Structure 1
Amino acid sequence: MSTAAGQISAAALRGWQLAELRGGQLHFTAADGLRRALKDGFFYVRQPAGTELSAGDRFARSFYLEGGGAGDGPRDPYRGFHRWTSEQLGRHQGYFCRDADQTEQFFLEKAWWDRVYPAALVQQAERMRDFALAVQRAVLARLDLPRELWEEATGHSLTPHGTHTLTFNHFRPEVAARGLNIHKDSGWVTVLRSTERGLEVDRDGDWCPIDPIPGTFIVNFGCAMEILMRHTATPVAAVAHRVVRQPPSGGAKPDRFSYALFVDSTLDDRVCPGLFAYEPGGGLRLEAGFGTFLDDILDNTYREDTTGLY
């Protein structure tokens, strides 16, 4: 156990797994930490030394607010992003505000970061993307999957062809609705920044809280990873999770926020036809087109009467 990892108590972890990425490898505090994390569908990971999150935190607290400008003082580059919509940016991107959830959200893929996000946030997004890909490679290195298949099997997600999205959530406690609906992430790994309680995961039919631990991210495994590895000696669970309704605080504390870097397969069918399952001795078998799979997961997540499961 490293000194840094050891500073987090067993009580804080509540039996969940903690790792640190060093030298391109994941080092878990428990001897069987990776096996347990693959079964749980997520784990905590120490933030890299020198991680700077102020730009992301500021954007999460501000993106939904009206922007400043003439007559209101200098324009705030972290406000006014509700004007960016899917009509400008493409399907599943931009600002969304739905009645079924307390969340209002902002989704943006890598291709748009330089044109839309403030410069400091672009730098943070790129660091989070690089860290997420390093975590994904470290996990793949411990799975029952030949290295020569990584690129094709993971939908070229480890390359610039992959779909890399930074997504922000602002929770509106004044809205009488669920916090965020039950769902599984669609892709490979998600690196989540969370600072307030409210996240829960499904463990054998019980909803268990996943409280934030300072100095860590939460890494979720997604459906693509679950589908790929389900027939192998190292199956991976895609964790079903939700955020509970946030009660009004009367202004006593700031609204809850979170944000995450999602690593997904390419959406270009010419590069990769979709999601595969790997069978040892049999190779890769195409299971579904990723674009359609992603559409279904997201549409079911944000409807009032469905869940984002498959």
Structure 2
Amino acid sequence: MTEWSGILPLFKPAGMTSHDCVMKIRRLAQTKKVGHTGTLDPDVTGVLPICIGQATKVADYLHDEPKRYRAQVTFGVSTDTEDASGTPVEKAAIHGKLNEQQVRDVFKQFTGEILQVPPMYSAVRVNGKRLHELAREGKVVERKPRSAIIYSMQIEEMNLDQLRPTVRFTVDCSKGTYIRTLCVDIGKALGVPAHMSYLQRIKSGPFTLDQCYFFDEVERACADHALDKLLFPLDQALLQYPHVEVPAGRVQAIRNGLSQRHLRPGHWNIGDKIRIYAPDGTFLALHEVIETDRDMGVESKPVKVF
């Protein structure tokens, strides 16, 4: 049996959970070592990087990377789930009450670091139980606000002169950002009920929508024993860290988990991470800087060895 290893940028279809996607890839690739890098709700489509084999070692790093979404907020109705799948809880007639400048001004208020209260229909745990489990029991519990970062938001289209006004936009944000809650909070800032009526993830870390494969392509590749042709190398998840090449004589030492002294380092600080490569381009390890010395150079120790 072939041991696949790499990152599969999957296009997650609507109607499947991220866990469903992982389970299906496990069956197709015939391996248990499969993990995803950032949950998407069942109704949401788009980029879902799947780590297979050795690449599961870098899943957390990819999960921590910024995400980009294309979303739509609909004004005039709020729901219990904060998205279009939920039950309406508030309605308001707002036709003609919103103008473009007003909307643009409010969107600007939500860039930078913001605080969000996790929605009840989410996987956050409170006292050992997931919020969505409590919500389905009809319970509402107090949630502490969480910090998120909105790096940028771009309004793509506004349709304000209709019964239920909509705004379509793209947003670059940190991990853990709830776009549903962002839509609701934008509505609150405008003084109207709102919910998220559409969402697609169009970028996750370095992976974009046009790089993604559909399940039928994955199925064909697995049937042809050619899944490797769809996989990106695992260091693709670590491109945010500097590339460092070590001499051939140090390759085995790095593979054995030893530290490395760098005599011509970049502008690194203690705690910075670096990617270590052999002269032939083989990715060896992810290291962390543990010592900097003006005369002796920089020392790094392994975080993960591949």
- What band does the TM-score fall into relative to the shorter chain? under 0.3
Q: Which has a greater percent of strand?
A: 2
Give me the TM-score of the superposition, normalised by structure 1: 0.21
State which structure, 1 or 2, has the greater radius of gyration over its C-alpha atoms: 2
Give me the TM-score of the superposition, normalised by structure 2: 0.21
